[in-house]
Amino acid sequence: MQAAIRLAFEGMRSGQGGPFGAVIVKNGEIIGQGNNQVALTLDPTAHAEVVAIRDACKYLGHFQLDDCVLYTSCEPCPMCLGAIYWARPKAFYFACTKADAAAIDFDDQFIYDELDLPFAERRIPAYPLLREEGLKAFEEWRGKENKFVY
């Protein structure tokens, strides 16, 4: 956790992004690390956890973090939480809470609130379109013999 917190300071102080850091550990060794790089990369998905997941997966040569543990300087936002679940580490630990983050204007509660609203009533409205045509790709996937299941 100390390494994740150190990365939070380093990234923030160098102007790469907000005060967030994360590391991924396997068998006692850090195999992936990241700090928030949203400002540096102009990429809204470059949160510390996502950067660390990408780094660890590249190191492992795999898209899942089997037998890994993630340490992050702050409770993950909804996007990062989703990425953590898709990467499937065996556990994660966090230092600061989402309430701590909200106190410094990193408040994700609006996203949680949006998920309960009907698509058309969200801040960014969403509308279904061409479902039948989109389902054709799903149908082909269902029958695909040589698919890579994940």
Strand partners, 19: none
Which of the residues are catalytic? 49
C-alpha pair distances (Å), 133 with each of 15, 126, 130, 137, 144? 45, 18, 5, 8, 18
Would the pLDDT of 147 be above 90?
no
pTM of the model: 0.92
Percent of the chain with pLDDT strictly greater than 70: 100
pLDDT digits (tens, 9 = 90+) for 55-70: 999 999 999 999 999 9
Would the pLDDT of 149 be above 90?
no
DSSP annotation string for 46-91: --HHHHHHHHHHHHHTSSS-TTEEEEEEEPPPHHHHHHHHHH--SE
pLDDT digits (tens, 9 = 90+) for 93-142: 999 999 999 999 999 999 999 999 999 999 999 999 999 999 999 999 99
Query: Is pLDDT larger for residue 112 or for residue 150?
Result: 112
Angstrom distance (rounded) from CA 111 to CA 77 = 9
